[in-house]
Amino acid sequence: MKWKISCILITMISLVALPAWALNEECAQCHQERVNNIGASSHAGLACQTCHEGAVAHVNMSSKATVHFDLEVCAGCHPNQYGTYIYGDDWKTKYGGSPGPDAVNPLPNGDADLWNKLLDFENYNDIIDGYGFSREYNEERSHNVMIKDHHDITRGKKETCMQCKSTKLAYYWDLKDENEEIRDHEILNSTIVEAGHMAYPVTITKGTMISMYTDRDAPYPNTHEVKVVVRLQGGDTYASFADYPGANYSDPTKTGYMLWSALYALTINELPQGSPTIDSGNGCNHCHDPHKAGLDLTAIPSVSASSASPCSMPSRTTASTLRTRQPHFTLMETPR
């Protein structure tokens, strides 16, 4: 984290000698709306490369500019918000739930039981009948361990879940290239995934390519079907839907493991070792528009059930379009 904060400080110092607009004008040739938004926000004093390493080289088309999804990037200028977001009290909270020793019979090593909501209220499951994670989750835990809790629970899980658990996936979901084709995303470092719901670990190898989108034009009963394709480097291809050319459907359990694990690996793949975002899965830009320097609450499912994604990411959508776009999935559409 220290080197990232140092980079930010160095860039900010350079702005004293050269106005941010001069540094951003090259970016505006392709990203005019984003540059305009920055200029009209409280981030107006920042150059694009303050948060996007490689932006200068990207202008020359020699490399890609970095899009960050880790909390530490914002921490340099917003230490208080960062500190409270990653805070965990490591004890049972007022409403039940932070991890810690059993409150009645604590063990010496402080490593014992995790507090279960059912210990507070034995009929909790009856009230939220149908919600799949009430037993395994240690409520009420902070967002700072959101993807860790999802990773650790023993119930089965699907690719759809990751749209809310991962800022990176929310950003890349449905993202298209210049030819309006769904874009592939590459795993840059081989990742071994051992999740609570899996009977064995799987390896998502370096060079694996992943595409992910929601088919909003599919006829019923596949309306809004989530479609994820994972192509291992020099290996098999796995798809979350039927009839994808060349996909391996011989072992449905393994297919499920590979699809979920690939999305998890993509989430954490480029994060620095020890980053709190590895446990959180969320960057500040999950709910905050970094170009406008403000909240976009219409993008949060709990606020607007019609949201297409938990992350607005103004490079692709705006608050007005999010209000009208269809959701990635429809709650309760499967009969029980």
Domain ranges of the chain: 1-66, 89-141, 145-336
User: Mean pLDDT of residues grouped by 10 in the chain (336 residues)?
Assistant: 46 42 78 90 87 82 80 90 80 47 47 55 62 52 82 84 89 88 93 94 96 90 89 92 94 96 95 91 88 68 34 34 30 30
Residue among 143, 121, 145 at smallest CA distance from 134: 121
Q: Please tell me the predicted confidence (pLDDT) of residue 240.
A: 95
Per-residue exposure over 300-329, b if at least 16 CB sit within 10 Å of its own CB, e if not: bbeeeeebbbbbbbbebbbeeebeebebbb
CA distance 126 to 128: 6
Q: Please tell me the predicted confidence (pLDDT) of residue 49.
A: 84
Q: Please tell me the predicted confidence (pLDDT) of residue 119.
A: 62
Per the structure block, which two tokens stand in for 65?
A: 């500019």
CA distance 258 to 136: 22
pTM: 0.72
Q: Please tell me the predicted confidence (pLDDT) of residue 136.
A: 55
Q: Please tell me the predicted confidence (pLDDT) of residue 58.
A: 85
CA distances to 15, 110, 114, 137, 138 from 119, rounded to whole Å, are 55, 19, 10, 12, 11
Q: Please tell me the predicted confidence (pLDDT) of residue 223.
A: 81
First to last CA, the chain: 47
